[in-house]
Amino acid sequence: MNSNDASEFVSKVSEFSKNSISNKEDLTRISAIVINNGLEQEFEKLVFNAKFLQGLLRIIRNKDNSIDAEYFEKVTGEYHMGLEKIKSGLKNILSYSDEFYRNIFEEKYMEMTHKGMANLTGLCDDLSWVKMFLNNEKQKANARK
């Protein structure tokens, strides 16, 4: 497999998401690294954690008075741990890339700035779409059996 496969994969995910992918180039680069280095298991963990993180973020953003303060604190803690898992997973995958791209991703997604967090949240949203796409593909494959 090669980077054309990664582009095709991201195109399919983008189509599935009704063009909701905002970081196509970065997602394509991550996918190419995964494909070229046999990192599918690491990628599965990354997209799972991203989807989970997006769910926690929805709870945090929609907090109202009906949510118990202790529960909210627990969700917020899990969210921060999830961010670290995402960063760790990205770093692991990017360790198979060259230093130039590692530095770009580090600056864009790993810095603890408002912009870095917004970028990481956007990438997690894209990775969530990947998870939903992969789940959909598994369901279609199982339906054919």
Residue 91 burial class via C-beta count within 10 angstroms: exposed 0-12, middle 13-18, buried 19 and up: middle
Q: What is the pTM of this model?
A: 0.91
Instruction: Tokens for 78, please give them.
Output: 């899990």
pLDDT digits (tens, 9 = 90+) for 26-58: 999 999 999 999 999 999 999 999 999 999 988
Percent of the chain that is helix, strand, coil (3-state, to 5): 80, 0, 20
Instruction: Tokens for 30, please give them.
Output: 């991550």
**pLDDT truncated to tens, each residue of the chain (145 aa)?**
456 799 999 999 999 999 999 999 999 999 999 999 999 999 999 999 999 999 998 888 887 666 788 888 888 899 999 999 999 999 999 999 999 999 999 999 999 899 999 999 999 999 999 999 999 999 998 988 7
Q: Can you give the C-alpha Rg of the chain in angstroms?
A: 16
